[in-house]
Structures are given as C-alpha cells and as structure tokens.
Structure 1
Amino acid sequence: MRKFLCLTFSLALIAAITTYVMWTNDRPVGHYLSDLRIKLVVDQGVPAGRGNLLGIQPELFPTDYQSPERLHRKLAAYLQQARDQGLVNEKTVVVLPEHVGTWLMLSGEKDELYQAGSLKEAMNWLAVSNPLRFVRALISATGDSRLDDAHLRMKAKTMARDYQQLFGGLAKEFGVTLVAGSIVLPEPSVSDGQLNPGRGALYNSTLVFGRDGMPIGQPQRQLYPTSEERGFIQPSVDQAVTVIDTPAGRLGVLIGSDSWYPQNYRKLNDLGAQLIAVPAFVRGRGTWDKPWHGNKGVSTPSEIDLKPGELSEGQAWHRLTLISQPPGSLATAGMSVFLRGQFWDQSTAGQSFLSSNGQHVADGDGRGAHVLNLWL
C-alpha cells in the first residue's frame, strides 16, 4: 500500500511538474490595436541646414512590450509621422525617454502578466513564468531591494540584445542619430559593436546609435539615481560624463535627475558640448503639478538653493535643468523628454520641454504621444 501511494504521489508530482514546464513555455502573442498617432506640440526655429533635435514622448503600455516587433511598430510609426512632416534629415538627433528600454523585461511573457491588476502582481507572474532565470538572478542580486534587482537582472541578455536591435535598427531605418532613452542592465559595456551585460551591479544607462545603426562609444551610466531607485540601481559617481560627435554637433547626455547637478554642466562645458539630451521619467499621475519633495539624488549640491515644497515638480525640473544657461551651461540647445503611459497601477507624469537661448519651451498639452522639434 505504501509503495502504491508513493508511486501515485511520484506520478502526480511528475505530471504537475510537466504541466508547469509546458505552461511556462507557452507564450501566445495576442492581437493588440495600439494607438499609433502622435501630435507635434512644439516646433521651434526654422530649418538652417544645421539639423535638429527631435524629442519623441511616447505613450506606452505593457502590451506595447509584448514583443520587440510590436514596440518597433509603434516607435517607427511615430518617426514616420515626423518624417512626413519634414522633421527628419541626416543631421537629426532623436531623443527618447528614460526607461523606454528598461520595460523590455516584459517582452515575450504570458498573457497573465499583461492582464495583471498591479505592478506587483505582474512581477510575480514574471518570476513564476521564468523560475530558473529568476532563481539565478535572485542569487546574484545586490542592494536593498533584491526582488527588484532580480526582476531586472533575470533577462539582461535578451534585454540588451533587443535594445540594440530595436533602437539601433530605428536609427539606421530613419538615418538619424538616436539617443535611446535608457535601460537598466548589470554593468553594461560595448565590445566589438555589441552591447553586453556584465555580472555586477545594475546601472541605468543609455546608448547613442549612429545613422549606421551602430552604438557610438560606451554606455553613459546615470550618476545619481533617485531615492526610489537606489535600492537596486547603483549610482555611477566615479564615471565621467562624455560627449560624442554627431552630424548636428557635440552631444552630451544626462539621464534624468543627473540634469539637476551643476557640476555635470561644467564637465560638459569643458568637453565642448553644444547639445544636451535628457531622457527623463517621473512616476505617479499628477506628480508634475504636485509640490517638489526635494533633491532625490545621492547628495545635494551646494549650488542648489531650492527648498522642498517651494515649487511644483514640473517647475523644479525647469529651474534645475540648466541647459543653454551661461555660465552653468554653454550648450546652445537641449531637450528633456519624458516617458508617458500606464504600467498597471503605476502611471507616469512629466511634460517634455526644450531649451534654447536660456529659455525653456514646454509641451504642456496633457496626455498622448507628442513630438517636440528644435531646429538648430
């Protein structure tokens, strides 16, 4: 009798494990109608043969990341509409928002993840659907938020591959220089033209792709992650900001709140930066108009005299972003581009703006996908 019970239990366990393995490997791709419209909300200056900064503020949702092909379709539609309006040429520098690549962690997952009611539930489905990847990532996780680290780390190789193929492909397809927002990866680096994740801490990083679709230089890591992210994203305070040559001029990139630190502009001045791109991200519906809660970086520079609650979040971004404001920044122009959309119960805020001649020109047009253009 005992042998029979043991045999029955063993067979049931094998059947359960087999069913679970089959379930994790079943990744159907459902039909999804995405809004491909985008509105030109700012068109500053006139064409003068020097190129332009073109900010793409997409409106994205989890299902847009169901596959790289689906996300490509949406972003390519945005760029095609900009091209149809005469805003794309061989000197165009396209700027995409912070974390537009990070959400590639959602690619190729099960329907239950996309249909989840909250971000926490979605991340549970991500772990359950990829048990071996998740366990390996959890063992390697660092920082205070080990679960968040593991969720981001577990698909790092495919995320890096998809990021380069997608955004490098868009740069080549449209013949532009493309600042590919940002992506969170463990110790990313470029070797022989290929973006590769490492094994160490997670960094929020960006790559710039040239008109040939190849990465230009090494990834620029975020120097000062926000307080919400420092539990799993490592600050890269020992990395110097860099400048790259583009057909429109020498370009520097400051990720998110890195654009609040005056010393970063001084370093870019020393490197001869003419243009500055700021991929940005603000979490929470309505946050843009709520009181600013203070500097969220690793440390507060002595030059920043803005007090928490003194201005709204949006006003603080305009006050602290010093692009094209001598003597802080000697760059002639720049653009801050925010990610918009809804990721389960987590909404986004932020209104993109461009900087030229010491002035900020803001989007200010509410929800939806937007294009901002600045002729140089």
Structure 2
Amino acid sequence: MQKLLLGALALVVITMLCGYGLWTEQRPAGHYLSDLRVELTLNQGIPANQGNLLGIEPELFPGDYQSLQRLHLKLAAYLQHAREQGLISRKTVVILPEHIGTWLWALGEKSEMYQVTHLDQARQWLELSNPLRYGLAMLGATGDDRRADAHLRMKAAQMASDYQQLFGGLAREFDITLVAGSIVLPEPYVDGGTLRVGSGALYNSSLVFANDGSILGQPVRQKHPDNGVRRFIHAGAQPLQVLETPAGRLGVLVGSDSWYPNNYRQLEQQAVQVIANPAFIGVKHGWRAPWRGNRHQPLATQLPLKPGEVSEGEAWQRLILANKGREQASMSVFLQGRFWEVSADGEGFASRNGQNFSVSAKPGARLLNLWL
C-alpha cells in the first residue's frame, strides 16, 4: 500500500511539473493599441545639404515590448512621419534615447506581465515563466543587485539579436545612420558584423548602424554609470571612438558621460564633428527636480555644479554646453513613457555655435531636428 501511495504521489508531482513546463512555454499575444502620434517640437537651422541630427523621443510602455513587430511598428511610424516632413535623407543621423534596447528583456513574455502595475511584479512573472534560465543566470550574477543582473543576463543573447535585427533593419529601411540608444549586455562586442555577448560584467552600451544596416565600430560602453544603475552595471574602460558617417565624424556619449570634460577631449582629438547623447531619467518630474549629480563617481567632485544647486534639466544643458567645442553640433535625447511605476522623463535639446535649443515641452512622443 505504501509503494502504491508513493507511486501515485510521484505521478502527481510529475504531472504538475510537466504542466508547469508547458505553461512556461506558452506566450499568447494580447491585443494592444499603441499611440503612433509624434510631434515636431524642435526644428533649428536651414537645410544646406550637410545633413541633420534627428532626435526621436518615443513614448513607450511595456506593451510596446510584447513583440519585436509592435516595437518596430511604433518606431517606424515616427520615422515615416519625419520622412513626410522632409527631415530624412541619406545624410540624416537619427538618435534614439538611452535604454531603449535595455527594455528588450521584457520581449515575448506572458501577457500578464505587461498588465501588472509594479516592476517588481513584472520581474516575478519573468522569473516564474523562465525558471531554468533564471536559475542558471543567478549562478553567474554579480554586483550589488544580483536579481537585476540575472534578469538581463538570462536573455542577453536574444536581446542582442533582437536589438541588431530591429535597429539595423530600421537604419536600412529608412536609409539613415542610426544611433540606437543603448542596451545593457554582458561584455558586448561585434564580431564578423554581428553583435555578440560574453559572460562577464554588464555594460550599458550604444551601437551605431550605417545606412545599409551594418554596425559601425564597436559598442560604446558608458564610462560613468549614474546612481540608479551602478548596483549592477559596470563602468566601461575602452577609449571613445569617432565614426565616419555621411553627416560627418560622429561621437557618442552615453547618458551622464556627457557631463565629463575628458570625454569631450577624447572625441576632439579624433576630430569629432557631431555628438550624439542618448539619455534617460527614470524619475517622474525628474527634469525639473534638483540635480542629483553622480555621487558615486570620483570625477563628479570636479564638475562645476554641485548636487541640488540647479535643476536636473539645467545641469544637463549647462554641462554639455560648457564642455563641447563651439564648432561641434550635439543633441541629447530622452526616453518618454512609463514602464510599470518607472516614469521616463526629460526634455531633449540640441547645441551648436555656443547655443542650446530646447524642445517645446509637450506630453507624448517628440521629434527634434537640427540642420547641420
């Protein structure tokens, strides 16, 4: 009798495990209507066949990341709107915001994950739906936030592939040079034209795609991660690179790297002409809040501004204008939208000839254009 009960119990356990395994593989796509509207809020300069910097500040939500097709639909709609207004040519450099690729960790998950209201709940759904991958990722996780590290590490290879497919495809489709915001991956590198990942530390990196969809150079790793991500993102140590584009020699500064003078000196030594700054502020109304600074970075003590001295928005503009050369054009672009309780904020701006040009602050997706 005891053997019979043990056998029945084992059968029940096996049945439950098989059912759970089948459940984790199911990814039904829910219905989701995305707002494809975008407004041109900054348009400076005169077309002169020198090209332009075109910033896109997309308004994104978790549902936009349910599939690669949905995300492509939204970004392509913004680009098509810009094309219809005569803002896209082969000499256009399009800049997308920081971390637009990082949220690809949410791609292809169960519909329940996109419907919860808190990020921690979404992470729980991610773990429950991917128990084996999450468990293995936790074994290799590092940093002060091993859980966040594991969430990115467990899907890193697929995120890298999706990132290249999406943004390389958009660059080719619209015949543009595309600064594809940034993505957090473990030791990313380009080999044979393909974005690949390693097994070491996580880096917040930006890639640039040429008009034919190919990757230009190597990933640009952020050197000075800000306070919000330093618990699991490491500081990059590679020298900055300047890339040849139809609009001129392009340098990329990821996020708060745009605050530090030495980064501009590195780019100037390589005769940089245009600077792209993908940026992200994950605090509601953070643009007008007191500047937080970067207290965990030793070089931050040498900055001419102190935390709380000015607003976040004023600090970004003053630091960039003070650091870059007058002859260089630059543009900073911020993500809009909401990711569970995390509100993306910030108002993009461009700089040229010693002047800053700010967007007209309006809700929703925005386009910024600066003729070179």
Indicate whether the TM-score tops 0.5: yes
Alignment deviations for residues 62-120 of structure 1 (CA, whole Å, 9 cap, x no partner): 00000111100000000000000000001000000000001111111001111112001
| Cα distance in 2 for residues equivalent to 1:301 and 1:112 | 41
| Map of 2:363 onto structure 1 | 367
**Counterpart pick for 2:331 among 329, 335, 338:** 335
| Map of 2:141 onto structure 1 | 141
Alignment deviations for residues 16-52 of structure 1 (CA, whole Å, 9 cap, x no partner): 1111111101101112110001000000011000000
Tell me the amino acid that sits aligned with residue 71 of structure 2.
Answer: L
Please identify, of 364-373 and 165-174, the stretch whose mean Cα deviation from structure 2 is larger: 364-373
| Map of 1:312 onto structure 2 | 311
| Map of 1:286 onto structure 2 | 285
Structure 1 residue 228 displacement after superposition: 1.9
8 Å Cα contact 2:224/2:297 also seen in 1: yes
- Secondary structure of the structure 2 residue equivalent to 1:300: helix
Structure 1 residue 295 displacement after superposition: 2.5
- Secondary structure of the structure 2 residue equivalent to 1:282: coil
Question: How many pairs are equivalent?
Answer: 372
| Cα distance in 2 for residues equivalent to 1:319 and 1:186 | 33
Structure 1 residue 366 displacement after superposition: 3.0
Please identify, of 164-173 and 310-319, the stretch whose mean Cα deviation from structure 2 is larger: 310-319
8 Å Cα contact 2:327/2:353 also seen in 1: no
| Cα distance in 2 for residues equivalent to 1:264 and 1:92 | 24
| Map of 2:70 onto structure 1 | 70
- Secondary structure of the structure 1 residue equivalent to 2:218: strand
- Secondary structure of the structure 1 residue equivalent to 2:299: coil
Alignment deviations for residues 274-323 of structure 1 (CA, whole Å, 9 cap, x no partner): 0000000001111111111223452234641212211111111111113x
8 Å Cα contact 1:104/1:159 also seen in 2: yes
| Cα distance in 2 for residues equivalent to 1:55 and 1:373 | 6
| Cα distance in 1 for residues equivalent to 2:70 and 2:197 | 24
1:175-324 alignment, distance < 5 Å:
175-236=175-236, 238-296=237-295, 298-301=297-300, 303-322=302-321
- Secondary structure of the structure 2 residue equivalent to 1:9: helix
| Cα distance in 1 for residues equivalent to 2:304 and 2:50 | 36
8 Å Cα contact 2:251/2:276 also seen in 1: yes
Tell me the amino acid that sits aligned with residue 258 of structure 1.
Answer: D
- Secondary structure of the structure 1 residue equivalent to 2:149: helix
Please identify, of 137-146 and 167-176, the stretch whose mean Cα deviation from structure 2 is larger: 137-146
Tell me the amino acid that sits aligned with residue 214 of structure 2.
Answer: M
| Map of 1:348 onto structure 2 | 344
- Secondary structure of the structure 2 residue equivalent to 1:320: helix
| Map of 1:8 onto structure 2 | 8
8 Å Cα contact 1:182/1:204 also seen in 2: yes
| Cα distance in 1 for residues equivalent to 2:264 and 2:221 | 16
Please identify, of 204-213 and 304-313, the stretch whose mean Cα deviation from structure 2 is larger: 304-313
Structure 1 residue 12 displacement after superposition: 1.1
8 Å Cα contact 2:184/2:205 also seen in 1: yes
8 Å Cα contact 1:262/1:303 also seen in 2: no
Please identify, of 107-116 and 55-64, the stretch whose mean Cα deviation from structure 2 is larger: 107-116
- Secondary structure of the structure 2 residue equivalent to 1:136: helix
Alignment deviations for residues 165-218 of structure 1 (CA, whole Å, 9 cap, x no partner): 000000000000000000000000000000001110000001100000000010
Tell me the amino acid that sits aligned with residue 164 of structure 1.
Answer: Q
1:23-172 alignment, distance < 5 Å:
23-172=23-172
Structure 1 residue 331 displacement after superposition: 4.7
Structure 1 residue 332 displacement after superposition: 2.0
Tell me the amino acid that sits aligned with residue 197 of structure 1.
Answer: V
Tell me the amino acid that sits aligned with residue 41 of structure 1.
Answer: T
| Cα distance in 2 for residues equivalent to 1:331 and 1:22 | 59
| Cα distance in 2 for residues equivalent to 1:235 and 1:301 | 14
* Seq. identity, %: 57
Structure 1 residue 330 displacement after superposition: 5.1
- Secondary structure of the structure 1 residue equivalent to 2:72: helix
8 Å Cα contact 1:39/1:370 also seen in 2: yes
8 Å Cα contact 1:276/1:331 also seen in 2: no
Structure 1 unaligned runs (5+)?
none
| Cα distance in 2 for residues equivalent to 1:297 and 1:266 | 22
8 Å Cα contact 1:281/1:339 also seen in 2: yes
Tell me the amino acid that sits aligned with residue 30 of structure 2.
Answer: G
| Cα distance in 2 for residues equivalent to 1:259 and 1:167 | 23
| Cα distance in 1 for residues equivalent to 2:70 and 2:300 | 42
- Secondary structure of the structure 2 residue equivalent to 1:336: strand
| Map of 2:19 onto structure 1 | 19
| Cα distance in 1 for residues equivalent to 2:85 and 2:337 | 24
